[in-house]
Amino acid sequence: MELKEIEAKNILTVCRIPGIDVVINPYIGCAFACKYCYASFMGRFVGRKVEDWGSYVFAKTNAAQLLARDLAKKMKDKGRGKEIFLSSVTDPYQGLEAKYKLTRGCLEELISFGYEGLVSILTKSDLVLRDIDLLKQLKNISVGLTVTSADDGISRYFEKFAPPVSARYKALETLNKNKIATYAFVGPLLPHFVANPDQLENIFSRLAQAGTKRIFMEHLNLSSYIRSRLAKEMKGVEAKVVEKFYSSQSKKYRDELEEIIKSLIKKYQMTLLSDQVIFHEEYQKQGK
């Protein structure tokens, strides 16, 4: 693992994700090394290749100081009506956060500033529980955990160095018990769910047990640079499994999967955020 400490020039940046105004990324790169991660394109900004994803992390050691400056300059009315997202192209609670506490420092600055907009966090790590004391002080907070299965074996294969998915369900349960608003990001939806809908139901069941009722769902992104990474990772995997991955991009497959999802949402009384299963068609076409 290549680790660098850097001083960034900015930390609060405009976000292109619908509904989100600005984003904080305290790190460049992510040590979790998820095989399907779209953020692997970030390597080109720091002289790294797509296939290097997971092997480097740059820690923005001045993140908290920059945020204090940016909040004072850019956030009128204490940010009311705005949404800040942690994080779009890294995991704010990857392992190095235990040492550097950059995400924690940013949360402290938001509290000190008196930020009144929404703070939305998305992570694959139960390390987020360390900061419950700060989360309770924010006026408008929503914490999401990404889950792609209900099985630690599957999560370990696709999310090599991330905490096991069982720890994420437990984290959601703990957050809910502490009256902190939660959501789950169920994505990417792995292609075996059409053939084995009971495995998708296992996710819904685990989320319901944890007390989380709001979910985002996203189809698998197989843009060109992700295809190239998965092709290398899936050498030796059965041909029918590989075929299923590629068929997951077809409208027929997505329609079948969405029918299963609709029935599960109704059964478990969930709320589908964004009112649709997300599919980034533009990335499939352009390979961005």
Non-local (6+) Cβ contacts of 215 within 8 A are 183, 184, 185, 186, 207, 265, 270, 271, 272, 273
- Alpha-carbon span 122 to 120, nearest angstrom: 7
Angle at 48 between CA 45 and CA 54, to 5 degrees: 110
- Alpha-carbon span 28 to 12, nearest angstrom: 14
Q: What is the CATH number of the domain that holds 264?
A: 3.20.20.70
Longest dimension (CA), the chain: 56
- Alpha-carbon span 46 to 30, nearest angstrom: 13
For residue 49, give Cα distances in angstroms to 53, 56, 90, 244: 7, 11, 16, 27
**DSSP bridge pairs for 34:** 159
**DSSP bridge pairs for 83:** 118
- Residue pair 41/225 in contact (Cβ under 8 Å)? The answer is yes
Helix pair 197-210, 165-177: axis angle to 10 deg: 30
**What total number of domains does the chain contain?**
1
The pTM assigned to this predicted structure is 0.89
Q: What is the DSSP letter of 25?
A: -
For residue 110, give Cα distances in angstroms to 76, 134, 213: 13, 10, 27
Non-local (6+) Cβ contacts of 272 within 8 A are 215, 216, 217, 261, 265
Q: What is the pLDDT along the chain (288 residues), one digit of tens a residue?
A: 899 999 999 999 998 887 899 999 999 999 998 888 878 778 777 888 878 888 899 999 999 999 999 999 999 899 999 999 999 999 999 999 999 999 999 999 999 999 999 999 999 999 999 999 999 999 999 999 999 989 888 777 778 899 999 999 999 999 999 999 999 999 888 766 766 778 899 999 999 999 999 999 998 766 665 666 565 655 555 555 556 666 666 788 888 889 999 999 999 999 999 888 988 664 334 333
Q: How far apart are the first and last CA of the chain?
A: 25
- Which structural domain range is residue 123 located in? 2-286
